[in-house]
């Protein structure tokens, strides 16, 4: 097995195929941190109101670029997918494929996660949209959880795979689909079975945490996300998928900024913020398993190929230099607690000069 022991590692600048930048004042924090880490990002459309028109996607992309520091101009490329609502029709898909900033449509089950109130309760009314997407090879990005209150929260991805994904794949065999932030062994297995036209994004936190971490030493709201982190068996399945070298698995952080007072509250906002150190954390995980030789493909190649995009040419360097994550960041006057706040990360990301 290849074991990496050198001082640093030079790789293509990674892409993040699933990130939440939010909007407004939050962009002043999230956009610069994402641009430092990634060359391209898919910025999730679950805003209020949702990004469910070509004009809304264009305008959101403009707001993201307006928050971009000057040193990243023309080096950071946000993709703004459409949020699947009843405003999305086959004719919208026909127009969307002509743009250079809409590469996908995002499916949120209604009520499944943050700002998903406008999501989908029944897939059948959207079959004509999926047909148009299949025709143009436009990916459907799926938050794969049922919202049935009779289903245990830790089983909601598994049940979604059984009830929704298998029938959807059978009906639309060539529709590109991404099971976002895959978190269960059943989700991993579904992607492996259907890997020709199916992929999954994998987060840092689903590779590092189990449900024990939510309750260790008392309730830990900053480890609460949706889909919720699950068992050790599920974590190991997700890690094995990331290390597998299969191009159907690639990086998507699902980094999600929430103010501290919203996380530490009765509502318990779902989301973990990792954009400040995502690439370093992925490197740390791959290093633990002696898999650094597979890191660049996972971070910088497989996703681009799935979306039919050219590989990035910019390089970044990962240096084995420990640093301490700040206790918090200012987010438009609110305090944000990042993942691993106050603790060490063993790699530091640097631009290649």
Task: Answer yes or no: is 3 within a domain.
Answer: no
330 labeled binding residue: no
Range of the domain at 233: 9-350
Cis peptide before 227 (omega within 30 of 0): yes
| 140 close to 179: Cβ distance less than 8 angstroms | no
166 labeled binding residue: no
Place of tokens 């999305």: 88
Mean pLDDT across the chain, nearest whole number? 95
Q: Domain tally for the chain?
A: 1
Task: Answer yes or no: is 98 within a domain.
Answer: yes
| 143 close to 161: Cβ distance less than 8 angstroms | no
Place of tokens 């650094």: 292
Range 291-317 average pLDDT = 97
What's the pLDDT tens digit per position in 112-149?
Answer: 787 778 789 899 999 999 999 999 999 999 999 999 99
Task: Answer yes or no: is 259 within a domain.
Answer: yes
| Whole-number Å distance between alpha carbons of 345 and 285 | 11
Task: Answer yes or no: is 1 within a domain.
Answer: no
Nearest of 198, 204, 195, 311 to residue 255 by alpha carbon: 204
> Could you say which DSSP state residue 153 is in?
G
Percent of the chain with pLDDT over 90: 93
- Measured CA distances, 214 to 42, 153, 205, 217, 326 (Å): 27, 13, 12, 9, 21
- Measured CA distances, 151 to 71, 148, 159, 169, 318 (Å): 48, 6, 8, 22, 42
Percent of the chain with pLDDT over 70: 97
Query: What's CA 313's distance to the chain center, in Å?
Result: 22
Task: Answer yes or no: is 121 within a domain.
Answer: yes
- 265: phi then psi, degrees, rounded to nearest 5: -145, 175
CATH code for position 140: 3.20.20.140
135 labeled binding residue: no
Positive or negative, the CA dihedral 63, 66, 67, 71 is: positive
| Whole-number Å distance between alpha carbons of 110 and 145 | 10
Nearest of 263, 239, 193 to residue 230 by alpha carbon: 239
What's the pLDDT tens digit per position in 157-190?
Answer: 999 999 999 999 999 999 999 999 999 999 999 9
Place of tokens 């944000």: 336
| Whole-number Å distance between alpha carbons of 213 and 7 | 32
Q: Which of 267-271, 316-320, 348-352 has the highest mean pLDDT?
A: 316-320
Output the pTM of the full model.
0.96
What's the pLDDT tens digit per position in 207-220?
Answer: 999 999 999 999 99
143 labeled binding residue: yes
Task: Answer yes or no: is 2 within a domain.
Answer: no
181 labeled binding residue: yes
Nearest of 148, 244, 135 to residue 188 by alpha carbon: 244
Give the max Cα distance, the chain.
55
Q: Active-site positions?
A: 254
Q: Is the pLDDT of residue 283 over 80?
A: yes
Q: Report the relative pairing of strands 323-324 and 198-202 from DSSP bridges.
A: unpaired
Q: What is the pLDDT of residue 321?
A: 95
Strands (E), 103-213: 105-107, 140-142, 177-179, 198-202
Task: Answer yes or no: is 4 within a domain.
Answer: no
Residues with Cβ within 8 Å of residue 6, at least 6 apart in sequence: none
Region at 203 (left for phi over 0; alpha for psi -120 to 50; beta for the rest): beta
Q: What is the pLDDT of residue 232?
A: 98
299 labeled binding residue: no
Residues with Cβ within 8 Å of residue 22, at least 6 apart in sequence: 30, 47, 257
Range 310-317 average pLDDT = 97
Query: CA geometry: angle at 227 spanning 332 and 104, to 5°?
Result: 75
């Amino acid at each position: 097995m290849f074991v990496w022991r050198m001082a640093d590692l030079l790789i293509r600048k990674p892409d993040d195929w699933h990130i939440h930048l939010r909007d407004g004042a939050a962009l002043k924090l999230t956009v610069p941190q994402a641009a430092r880490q990634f060359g391209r990002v898919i910025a999730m459309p679950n805003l209020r109101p949702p990004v469910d028109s070509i004009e809304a996607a264009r305008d959101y992309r403009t707001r993201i670029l307006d928050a971009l520091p000057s040193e990243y101009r023309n080096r950071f490329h946000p993709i703004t997918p459409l949020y699947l609502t009843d405003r999305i029709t086959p004719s919208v898909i026909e127009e969307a494929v002509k743009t250079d900033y809409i590469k996908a449509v995002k499916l949120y089950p209604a009520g499944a996660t943050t700002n998903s109130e406008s999501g989908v309760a029944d897939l059948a009314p959207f079959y004509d949209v999926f047909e148009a997407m299949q025709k143009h090879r436009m990916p459907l990005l799926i938050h794969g959880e049922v919202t049935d209150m009779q289903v245990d929260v830790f089983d909601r991805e598994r049940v979604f795979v059984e009830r929704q994904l298998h029938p959807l794949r059978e009906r639309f065999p060539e529709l590109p689909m991404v099971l976002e932030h895959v978190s269960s062994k059943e989700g991993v297995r579904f992607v492996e079975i259907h890997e020709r036209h199916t992929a999954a994004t994998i987060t840092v936190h689903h590779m590092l945490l189990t449900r024990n971490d939510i309750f260790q030493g008392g309730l830990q709201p900053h480890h609460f996300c949706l889909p919720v982190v699950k068992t050790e068996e599920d974590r190991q399945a997700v890690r094995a998928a990331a290390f597998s070298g299969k191009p159907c698995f690639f990086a998507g952080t699902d980094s999600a900024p929430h103010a501290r007072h919203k996380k530490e509250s009765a509502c318990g906002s779902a989301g973990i913020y990792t954009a400040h150190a995502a690439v370093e954390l992925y490197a740390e995980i791959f290093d633990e398993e002696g898999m650094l030789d597979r890191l660049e493909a996972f971070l910088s190649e497989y996703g681009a190929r799935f979306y039919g995009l050219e590989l990035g040419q910019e390089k970044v360097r990962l240096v084995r230099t420990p640093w301490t994550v700040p206790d918090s960041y200012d987010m438009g006057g609110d305090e944000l607690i990042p993942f691993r706040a106050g603790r060490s990360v063993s790699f530091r990301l640097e631009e290649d000069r």
